Amino acid sequence: MTATVYYAELPWPEVERRVANGAPMFLPLGATEQHGRHMALNVDVVLPTAIAARAAAKVSGLVLPTIAYGNRSQPKTGGGPGFPGTINLTASTFSLIIRDVICDLYRQNIRKIVTVNGHYENISATIEGIELALDVLGRERVSDLTIIRIDHWDMIRGETLDRIFPDGYPGIELEHASVIETSMMMALRPDLVDLTKASHDGPAAFLPYDRYPKPCDEVPPSGVLSLTEGSSAEKGEWLLADCEAGVVEIVNREFSGR
């Protein structure tokens, strides 16, 4: 039991012991969102959880239960509300969850917190949640607290992107349910990927503005914003290795000597 990196799998005395030993706490931030016809709805849960677990194992950390619902899916980054399956939280709700979790971690003497995000639309709401937590705790009182906010795709090295996209990287926004996420899922959970159901109806060509309340017609019918062609478990391992190494490097740098 005590060998696990998962916080919720431990009894409270073991959590208390690890916290006393300075274990950094990883909080994966995900979403339940469509990822094309070829992948499960939990991609944004699986990826940050796995990356956090791999990094935690290297730095004697613990992985908190993943927040499995994300800030509202947008057409240009997640396909938007036009697909069955996606469950949205408002930005205010999501930020308040982040606030409350951080405040309660601080109450339990946890001073090293790392959020690992797997859902693009969570970015601004996560920042707001961290800021709200600091407002509640009192910025003048928390000089012993360090919170690191990471989006896992930012850990991917340029050399790896060049290797995977020799004809040019389309950008993380259009990579929704495309080569990066599909390859990582093929490496981690091949049982949740069926490339025979992938539709090559992208890439999306979005207009340079947003329009409400009319649905965004530029989203491909599959929900894949770019293409799945070229995805592989091997590429997924390259990507995961970058993400793990990047997170470990940041944690060692920011928490060294603490």
Please confirm, yes or no, whether 14 is among the known catalytic residues. Answer: no
Please confirm, yes or no, whether 33 is among the known catalytic residues. Answer: yes
Is there a domain that residue 131 lies in?
yes
Residue 6, classed as helix, strand or coil, is strand
Please confirm, yes or no, whether 176 is among the known catalytic residues. Answer: yes
Residue 190, classed as helix, strand or coil, is helix
Please confirm, yes or no, whether 9 is among the known catalytic residues. Answer: no
Instruction: Convert the pLDDT of each residue in 96-128 to its tens digit.
Output: 999 999 999 999 999 999 999 999 999 999 999
Instruction: Convert the pLDDT of each residue in 24-36 to its tens digit.
Output: 999 999 999 999 9
Instruction: Convert the pLDDT of each residue in 189-246 to its tens digit.
Output: 999 999 999 988 989 999 999 999 988 999 999 999 999 999 999 999 999 999 999 9
Is there a domain that residue 1 lies in?
no
Choice among 38, 121, 175, 242 that is catalytic? 121
Structure tokens given for 197: 């159901």
Q: How confident is the model at residue 256 (pLDDT cuts 50, 70, 90)?
A: confident
In this prediction, residue 258 carries a pLDDT of: 63
Choice among 35, 152, 175, 244 that is catalytic? 35
58-62, 84-88, 216-220, 233-237 — which is least confidently predicted? 216-220
In this prediction, residue 257 carries a pLDDT of: 66
Beta bridge partners of 87: 32
What percentage of the chain has pLDDT greater than the value 90?
A: 93
Of 122, 120, 119, 78, the closest CA to residue 223 belongs to 78
In this prediction, residue 200 carries a pLDDT of: 87
Distance CA 52, CA 248 (A): 9
The amino acid at residue 19 is V
Please confirm, yes or no, whether 121 is among the known catalytic residues. Answer: yes
Is there a domain that residue 86 lies in?
yes
Q: How confident is the model at residue 1 (pLDDT cuts 50, 70, 90)?
A: low
Number of domains in the chain: 1
Other Cβ atoms closer than 10 A to 58: 14
Which contiguous run of DSSP H or E holds residue 186? helix 179-188
Of 145, 135, 119, 128, the closest CA to residue 25 belongs to 145
Q: Crossing angle of helices 43-59/233-255, nearest 10°?
A: 50
Look up the CATH number of the domain holding residue 140. 3.40.50.10310
Choice among 128, 151, 175, 181 that is catalytic? 181
- Asked whether the beta carbons of 61 and 22 are under 8 A apart, the reply is no
Instruction: Convert the pLDDT of each residue in 151-194 to its tens digit.
Output: 999 999 999 999 999 999 999 999 999 999 999 999 999 999 99
Q: How confident is the model at residue 3 (pLDDT cuts 50, 70, 90)?
A: confident
Is there a domain that residue 168 lies in?
yes
Which contiguous run of DSSP H or E holds residue 257? none
Identify the residue whose tokens are 């409400």: 212
Give the predicted TM-score (pTM) of the model.
0.96
Choice among 38, 151, 175, 176 that is catalytic? 176
Beta bridge partners of 27: 115
Is there a domain that residue 2 lies in?
no
Distance CA 255, CA 253 (A): 6
Choice among 38, 44, 175, 242 that is catalytic? 44
Verify cis geometry, omega within 30 degrees of 0, for the bond prior to 213. Answer: yes
Instruction: Print the domain residue range for 142.
Output: 7-255
Verify cis geometry, omega within 30 degrees of 0, for the bond prior to 166. Answer: no
In this prediction, residue 108 carries a pLDDT of: 96
Exposed / middle / buried, residue 250 (Cβ in 10 Å: 0-12, 13-18, 19+): middle
Mean pLDDT for the stretch of residues 16-20? 97
Distance CA 115, CA 196 (A): 34
Residue 147, classed as helix, strand or coil, is strand
